[in-house]
Chain A
């Protein structure tokens, strides 16, 4: 009884839509009917009834095909506004039967075997920063005969933080003087014996090759660099400013340069907070 109730509930949530092959089947029914009826052509009747029965039975089979499929969202990579983002999901199939010819958000998944789970990604673009929610995904299938498309919504209900679109002037160009004053890792002042615990980026590898590990000495190190990204001083609209800061945050992070983001009265330092935590602040500004 429980299964019957579940099936009835599911049936209500299921959507089905005939395809062009459905129209062809209707035309075939009509043609076969005309061929059979007036002259009691029993083989033609049988063909008509077989097609009718198959079309009807396939409605049940098609529903059962997508009935057990469900999805869950996985952690995804950073999502930026205005850019295609890969959102990861896992599809779970039935424990006892395969599900065939699946399309998730109109992208063909194919077959989901029994007891199998498939991890896949969907490409989506969010135009606005902030919080975005994906409540459900559309799953459809043309199984078995393609004359009806069966579909249902998979509830995922996942929230994503959409960071501002990274755009604006390049960090190196904007902060050239500061970066030049502090030097690059390639231009070191001196060499000194390597001490255990020093960063690998300071190792002088030619010396190591000679058998005498040495490290580079800088008069000023990158550790001393601290760029300030002040929301108030950046020109442009709110979104432009946020995009600019976002770009700089990303570029500074990848170059291992310390920075501080100043949003009105709040200051966020890269030494104290994770990059994505800072980006989140920008997203939710």
Chain B
């Protein structure tokens, strides 16, 4: 069987079928069932390739387009999405019918490009980006294959050369072409995205306590300004109301007081996956809200609409701050009939200052010998704090946070429970974090009159952690993190490159000379690589070593003023050159050229002579 490298695909119809196949693949996945069936039927008809199938295929195609319109629905038929789907369908039907007719016209030749332009309305992910580049490369290679009438390998080499030469221009155009829009529009329809389960405003402490060990990515965070001083707590919802088995979020107020003595400011970007709640996660404590969202009195951010698709936003937070005020009465409420042991323990501290009570509480938890485990025993829900602190002594973040907040109230300190996520240092590459569902976390906050609301992560007071839990919570490999990091950067600088990003890029070029030099150097470097690639990659390899060796000799001779007139044989030229070395080489050349088998030693000797010439 011949190697595929030696196959000559010069038939225009074959090349066109390949182009249409590749460009219609993404279309197959976005059209509805009738058109998918038609595409399969058309493919089968094209394989059979009988002209008499043209009219039946056309008829079935038009019928499927009608059915597609039915799938879309009358009320949606005038939307852009439906319009593009119907245009795509009609294009496919026309292309199939024309191909079966056997005549290749101009409109058929441009169909692959039209398909790309149309399906780009629908697919906007990184996968779509890579596939688009692949399609463009393939179409260029197919055009060249037809023009060159050569092997696929030669056509691919030439395509690669042209692409490498084009890369610097593409990069410069992409970065500098003026953008006017801030957001990326999706024309009202977008890639389907899977929802990530999120908090629903209730935290259970009993048998229904949420314990999510899923690796599914919840969000990605990149620090754009500032340095991280403390672990990153990403704030979601704040709960004050407690009953026997749960904490609940009720009646959110939106009158936050300004934070005081803010320090260690952080600016960051977040890509939040859809979770079908209104929570916009932010690093403790956010200084402001985002567009179409409000900041609550408890410094959580709520969007006006539920997050049903991937959301990108930028925020600023203060890592050191004082948050005074906003202490509702419910922050002090506790069941006086429950948790008698804790009430007993608190009695001797109730006369002391809030700070002293706070320290005593922390000491109590620190010395309790608590163990962090993802498989806690059952608790007595009526006396949950006592059960956790004095009896079971095991649990995970939900239990620690709940018990501490309850205990704080018993110690006459206003408290609340906060749920969100903890961005761990191990899940970080450069300034980029990947936060997954198993990073969900709960912690407490206690109000101290002189310090305001203070975060207390009671989990850190655990004396030990069981091995199984440690393993379950371990982070992904570095390679996974790097892949996500690269993907994130691609999204940020390619898919989501907009007016603002461009402005920040221009600003960096203007203000940072080092960055400017690196950028110019990179572009020039790309250009040099492209040119080198273009020069060094030959259309054909050196198949005839003797011929290539003589070519090298001729170049050397030309430099010495000896130019070969191609109307005479090479042997004659060398013999008549007047150069003794060339005459000797001529004799050896003739022996090698006309011998039945190439003597490798003789070839090596000739090569040495040519190199020495």
Please give the residue numbers on chain A whose beta carbons come within 8 Å of chain B beta carbons, in ascending order. Answer: 20, 24, 28, 31-32, 35, 37-47, 49-54, 56-58, 60-61, 72, 90, 92, 95-98, 100-101, 110-111, 113-115, 117, 142-146
Among all A-B residue pairs, the 5 with the closest Cβ atoms:
A39-B185, A53-B166, A40-B181, A53-B169, A49-B173
The one of B106, B140, B187, B566 that contacts A54, using a Cβ cutoff of 8 Å: B140
Q: Chain A's nearest CB lies how many Å from the CB of B534?
A: 8
A39, A56, A92 interface centre (most CB from chain B within 10 Å): A39
The one of B121, B123, B149 that contacts A111, using a Cβ cutoff of 8 Å: B149
Task: Say yes or no: A43 contacts B495, CB within 8 Å.
Answer: yes
**Interface-lining segment among B54-62, B112-120, B419-427:** B112-120
Which chain B positions have C-beta within 8 A of A145? 140, 143-144, 147
Chain B residue at minimal CB-CB distance from A101: B147
Is B498's CB within 8 Å of the partner chain A? yes
Task: Tell me the complex Cα distance, A228–B280, Å.
Answer: 112
Which chain A positions have C-beta within 8 A of B495? 42-43
| Interface membership of chain B positions 97-139, coded 1 if the CB is closer than 8 angstroms to chain A and 0 otherwise | 0000000001000100100110011011000110011001000
Which chain A positions have C-beta within 8 A of B113? 24, 28
Which chain A positions have C-beta within 8 A of B150? 100, 111
Task: Say yes or no: B162 contacts A111, CB within 8 Å.
Answer: no
Task: Say yes or no: B539 contacts A46, CB within 8 Å.
Answer: no
Given contacts A39-B181, A111-B148, A144-B144, are A56 and B120 in contact (CB under 8 A)? Answer: no
Task: Say yes or no: B136 contacts A47, CB within 8 Å.
Answer: yes
Which chain B positions have C-beta within 8 A of A43? 120, 123-124, 128-129, 132, 495
**Interface-lining segment among B206-214, B256-264, B517-525, B547-555:** B547-555
A20, A92, A95, A110 interface centre (most CB from chain B within 10 Å): A95
Which chain B positions have C-beta within 8 A of A95? 551, 554-555
A-B contact pairs, 16 of them (CB 8 A): A40-B179, A40-B182, A40-B185, A41-B184, A42-B497, A43-B120, A46-B170, A49-B174, A52-B173, A53-B170, A56-B169, A95-B551, A98-B154, A142-B147, A144-B147, A144-B158
Task: Say yes or no: A40 contacts B166, CB within 8 Å.
Answer: no
Task: Tell me the complex Cα distance, A47–B135, Å.
Answer: 10
On chain B, which size bracket covers the interface?
Answer: 35 or more
Which chain B positions have C-beta within 8 A of A40? 179-185, 497-499
Task: Tell me the complex Cα distance, A146–B147, Å.
Answer: 8
Task: Tell me the complex Cα distance, A101–B120, Å.
Answer: 33
Which chain A positions have C-beta within 8 A of B117? 28, 31-32, 35, 44, 47
The one of B147, B566, B567 that contacts A143, using a Cβ cutoff of 8 Å: B147
The one of A57, A98, A113, A114 that contacts B162, using a Cβ cutoff of 8 Å: A57
Task: Say yes or no: A47 contacts B132, CB within 8 Å.
Answer: yes
Which chain A positions have C-beta within 8 A of B167? 53
Which chain A positions have C-beta within 8 A of B567? 72, 90
Task: Say yes or no: A144 contacts B143, CB within 8 Å.
Answer: yes
Q: Chain A's nearest CB lies how many Å from the CB of B530?
A: 9
| Interface membership of chain B positions 547-581, coded 1 if the CB is closer than 8 angstroms to chain A and 0 otherwise | 10001001100000000001100000000000000
Which chain A positions have C-beta within 8 A of B169? 49, 52-53, 56-57
Task: Say yes or no: B133 contacts A110, CB within 8 Å.
Answer: no
A58, A60, A142 interface centre (most CB from chain B within 10 Å): A58
Task: Tell me the complex Cα distance, A57–B165, Å.
Answer: 7
Task: Say yes or no: A41 contacts B147, CB within 8 Å.
Answer: no
Chain B residue at minimal CB-CB distance from A97: B539
Is B330's CB within 8 Å of the partner chain A? no
Task: Say yes or no: B133 contacts A50, CB within 8 Å.
Answer: yes
Task: Say yes or no: B187 contacts A98, CB within 8 Å.
Answer: no
Query: Restricting to B259-318, which residues have a CB under 8 Å from any CB of A?
Result: none
Which chain A positions have C-beta within 8 A of B179? 40
Q: A39-B181, A40-B180, A43-B129 are in contact. List 16 more A-B contacts (CB 8 A).
A: A24-B110, A24-B113, A32-B117, A35-B117, A39-B185, A40-B179, A41-B185, A49-B170, A49-B173, A52-B173, A56-B166, A100-B150, A101-B148, A114-B538, A114-B539, A144-B143
Task: Tell me the complex Cα distance, A235–B4, Å.
Answer: 69
The one of A47, A56, A142, A146 that contacts B116, using a Cβ cutoff of 8 Å: A47
Q: Chain A's nearest CB lies how many Å from the CB of B473?
A: 37
Task: Tell me the complex Cα distance, A229–B539, Å.
Answer: 60
Is B594's CB within 8 Å of the partner chain A? no
A24, A35, A45, A53 interface centre (most CB from chain B within 10 Å): A53
Q: Chain B's nearest CB lies how many Å from the CB of A65?
A: 10
Task: Say yes or no: B174 contacts A46, CB within 8 Å.
Answer: yes
Task: Say yes or no: B181 contacts A58, CB within 8 Å.
Answer: no
Q: Chain B's nearest CB lies how many Å from the CB of A144?
A: 6
Is B163's CB within 8 Å of the partner chain A? yes
Q: Chain A's nearest CB lies how many Å from the CB of B148?
A: 4
Given contacts A46-B133, A47-B116, are A57 and B166 in contact (CB under 8 A)? Answer: yes
B117, B124, B170 interface centre (most CB from chain A within 10 Å): B170
| Interface membership of chain B positions 353-365, coded 1 if the CB is closer than 8 angstroms to chain A and 0 otherwise | 0000000000000
Is B29's CB within 8 Å of the partner chain A? no
Chain B residue at minimal CB-CB distance from A72: B567
Which chain A positions have C-beta within 8 A of B162? 54, 57-58, 61, 144
Task: Tell me the complex Cα distance, A172–B174, Å.
Answer: 81
Task: Tell me the complex Cα distance, A220–B233, Å.
Answer: 125
Task: Tell me the complex Cα distance, A143–B154, Å.
Answer: 14
Query: Restricting to B525-540, which residues have a CB under 8 Å from any CB of A?
Result: 538-540
Task: Tell me the complex Cα distance, A143–B140, Å.
Answer: 12
Which chain B positions have C-beta within 8 A of A24? 106, 110, 113
Task: Say yes or no: B181 contacts A46, CB within 8 Å.
Answer: no
Is B496's CB within 8 Å of the partner chain A? yes
Which chain B positions have C-beta within 8 A of A56? 166, 169
Task: Tell me the complex Cα distance, A20–B174, Å.
Answer: 27
Chain A residue at minimal CB-CB distance from B550: A115
Task: Tell me the complex Cα distance, A41–B148, Å.
Answer: 34
Given contacts A28-B117, A47-B116, are A41 and B124 in contact (CB under 8 A)? Answer: yes
Task: Tell me the complex Cα distance, A143–B143, Å.
Answer: 10
Task: Tell me the complex Cα distance, A49–B494, Å.
Answer: 13
Q: Chain A's nearest CB lies how many Å from the CB of B568?
A: 12
Which chain B positions have C-beta within 8 A of A20? 106
Q: Chain A's nearest CB lies how many Å from the CB of B222?
A: 18
Task: Tell me the complex Cα distance, A49–B121, Å.
Answer: 17
Which chain A positions have C-beta within 8 A of B144? 143-145
Query: Restricting to B178-212, which residues have a CB under 8 Å from any CB of A?
Result: 179-187
Which chain A positions have C-beta within 8 A of B121? 35
Task: Tell me the complex Cα distance, A25–B115, Å.
Answer: 15
Task: Say yes or no: B120 contacts A41, CB within 8 Å.
Answer: yes
Task: Say yes or no: B184 contacts A39, CB within 8 Å.
Answer: yes
Task: Say yes or no: B149 contacts A54, CB within 8 Å.
Answer: no
Q: Chain B's nearest CB lies how many Å from the CB of A56?
A: 7
Chain A residue at minimal CB-CB distance from B166: A53
Task: Tell me the complex Cα distance, A46–B123, Å.
Answer: 14
